[in-house]
Amino acid sequence: MDPRVREHAEVLVDTCVDISEGDEVVVSAPSVADDLTVALYEKIGERGAIPSGRGVTSRATRAYMRAADEDDFQESAVGMAMSEAADAFIGVRGATNTFEKSDVDPGKNAARRKANEAVMEKFMENRWVATQYPAPANAQDAEMSTEAYEDFVWSAVNKDWDAQREHQEQLVEILDPASEVRIVSGDETDISMNVDGMIAENDWGDVNMPAGEVFTAPVPDSVEGTVLFDMPVMVQGREVDDVRLTFEGGEVVEHSAGKNEDLLTTLLETDEGARRIGELGIGMNRDIDRFTYNMLFDEKMGDTVHMAIGRAYEENVPEDRERNQSVVHEDMIVDMSEDSYIEIDGEVIQRDGTFRFEDGFEG
């Protein structure tokens, strides 16, 4: 077994979800990631915890979704029981065919998410982490050899997370007390939002892996302007690119996409909250230095920002403030490496990807 697999299992178990004796741990992983599953079970056993496995192929999920009637979707009692009983979840991604579910009706995906919204909310209350195994199909998406993709993945996830946390905390100290955020990129993107009273979180390795972002939530009705997401996004096994959204009073009033615009429309029409932004994230993981069609990595890439339409995370929104609710949470990315800046309360804090606390910043 590649020693980097065992190293990553240790990061997941100890850093991300902090497994201890007696914990009930659900591990969801595809067969292509069997080495990592083995390593995880080994680490869970060493810590005296109790693992339970979940593994359904994308082929099986596709078969179910195509055969089912969307009017028959209902909340999964087993899924809810598992969310209530488990202490921690470790989700491993890895594909043999990343387009396996591309011919599933988007409406069915939306209906199933709606039916299990309460299950997802309960799941999010637990300790959890999602990670990526460097499977061949994901390497193909990234247009890399399997060996090169393995090197890319392991360098992004097996790193000094304490140092990464300290680096990102400098941005948290700027963003957390802020009121107004403005993002400008090229001639297409000029969007502003109010984050007053919201909580800026430092994602340094305790949820997603790889980590490497600082994120917050806007006041739902405060978003104004237009944004061009100039990096593609994979939605339900299909590529959507050149997404352009215009906001007024916090809601999308105009939208377009260069490819699969119908899928974007379906997402926005899922529920009322899907037409609002639930998250603003700023990528800070410099070991992710290329776009790979994998949002788990792409949203953390240095010199980028991402915004998610739909659900806002509980940790970003105090209990006395409105939190955007939706079954959708779809991240989309803006390249900030050129002709771009982030302005907070009227002051530029990042220009062309470089923060004011980094060498080379030109305000």
pLDDT, tens only, 196-218 = 999 999 998 777 899 999 999 99
The set of residues, in sequence order, having a beta carbon less than 8 Å from that of 166 and lying 6+ positions away, is none
Distance CA 101, CA 286 (A): 31
pLDDT above 90: residue 341: yes
Q: 45-64, pLDDT tens digit by residue?
A: 999 999 988 777 788 888 88
- Say what the pLDDT of residue 301 is: 93
pTM score, two decimals? 0.78
Angle at which helix 261-268 crosses helix 106-115, to 10 degrees, equals 20
Give yes or no for a contact between 346 and 323, defined as CB atoms under 8 angstroms apart: no
pLDDT at 261 > cutoff 80: yes
- CA-angle at 249, arms to 245 and 255, nearest 5°: 15
Residue 311 has pLDDT above 80, yes or no: yes
Q: What is the pLDDT of residues 149-169, one digit of tens each?
A: 999 999 999 988 889 999 999
